Amino acid sequence: MSGNSGTEQMSKRKPRVFSGVQPTGNLHLGNYLGAIVRFVDLQQDHECIYCVVDMHAITVWQDPQELLRSTREVTAAFIAAGIDPEEHIVFNQSQVSQHAELAWVLNCTARIGWLNRMTQFKEKAGKNRENASVGLYDYPVLMAADILAYHADRVPVGEDQKQHLELTRDIAQKFNNDYAQRIAELGLAREGEDGGFFPLPEPLIQGPATRVMSLRDGTKKMSKSDPSEYSRINLSDDADMIAKKIRKAKTDPEPLPESVEGLEGRAEAANLVGIYAALAGLTKEQVLAEFGGRGFAEFKPALADLVVEKLAPINAEMKRLLDDVGYIDSVLRSGAERARAIAEPIFDDVKRIVGFLA
């Protein structure tokens, strides 16, 4: 009998953080400011598990060679940005089978009506819904499994993942309720968690910029799948490309306002000021105190310099790391072993709770 592993660990350990990034193409400034910067900060006072979610990636078609390349690239970006893979855990999802196994159990807890409300599926499937993969529809349940497989307490994500986090909490709550009696009989209830087996993870949507918008359209989020390269700044872009993309970024003819209220109704201006503030570690007010009244002809070069200054060292370190694929793969292998050591006893408990003969 594995005993109440979750409860025992919880009383001793730091709060546990889990989050993931899909290896689906070029990482961009939105992924960096909305997620990765926050991942780095949280290392101070959390036990962190950061996952390259390759199983999520194949919910839409991925070229296999490209997927491998991207998996290593995201890993390199994590490390280059300052994540310590020895102190914390960095691994790719498909190496730890408990993600898929727990997802199946949670598929039987989640309700179709809940998934039908997921706006990301509607956006990604678009009009061609009948032709979307079942995996894309089920994506949020796999995400719930990712988080709950580790009894994670906190999940740092960008604003776009808020609804999926709420669903994770609903699934955890329903599982706890459905099996309440069994959880109590087996002595697997978490202390102070009103008798539940799964903790209800807390979303941390509070990076320096939780929603970075497209450079071509300030009402759409910056995204890997946007067909326009000029809509995003990739972590792999060199200085010339960054300057070019910022020069071409959509703006309006007005100078920057003196106060934040003046950004209302000016989505593109608000986005560029937000990016500057996030990278400089300033508030938007502070940025406007410096640039208010000045035109984009002055602001854009200053922004380009700042983006280059912040991204160039990460870019260079990513290149250096990617020259040593053996090292990247060893980080992922060791991370997977340590991740498995946490997820396995938790999933063994899940099996006992639902009544699987182990």
Catalytic residues: 124, 221, 224
Quick check: 24 binds ligand AQP (CB under 6 A)? yes
- When the beta carbons of 168 and 210 are compared against ligand AQP, the nearer one is 210
Quick check: 223 binds ligand AQP (CB under 6 A)? yes
Q: How far is the CB of 224 from ligand AQP (least distance, A)?
A: 4
> The dihedral of CA 53, 58, 63, 65: what is its sign?
positive
Quick check: 31 binds ligand AQP (CB under 6 A)? yes
Residue 246: how many other CB atoms lie within 10 Å? 24
- When the beta carbons of 78 and 179 are compared against ligand AQP, the nearer one is 78
Exactly one of 34, 140, 208, 257 binds ligand AQP (CB under 6 A); which one? Answer: 34
- How many binding residues for ligand AQP (CB under 6 A)? 19
Quick check: 221 binds ligand AQP (CB under 6 A)? yes
Q: How far is the CB of 155 from ligand AQP (least distance, A)?
A: 9
- When the beta carbons of 4 and 31 are compared against ligand AQP, the nearer one is 31
Quick check: 119 binds ligand AQP (CB under 6 A)? no
- When the beta carbons of 188 and 209 are compared against ligand AQP, the nearer one is 209
Exactly one of 225, 228, 259, 286 binds ligand AQP (CB under 6 A); which one? Answer: 225
Exactly one of 62, 94, 210, 234 binds ligand AQP (CB under 6 A); which one? Answer: 210
Residue nearest to ligand AQP (CB): 34
Quick check: 158 binds ligand AQP (CB under 6 A)? yes
Nearest to 34 by CA among 287, 200, 241, 213: 213
Footprint on this chain of ligand AQP (rule: CB under 6 A) = 21-22, 24, 30-31, 34-35, 157-158, 160-161, 210-212, 221-225
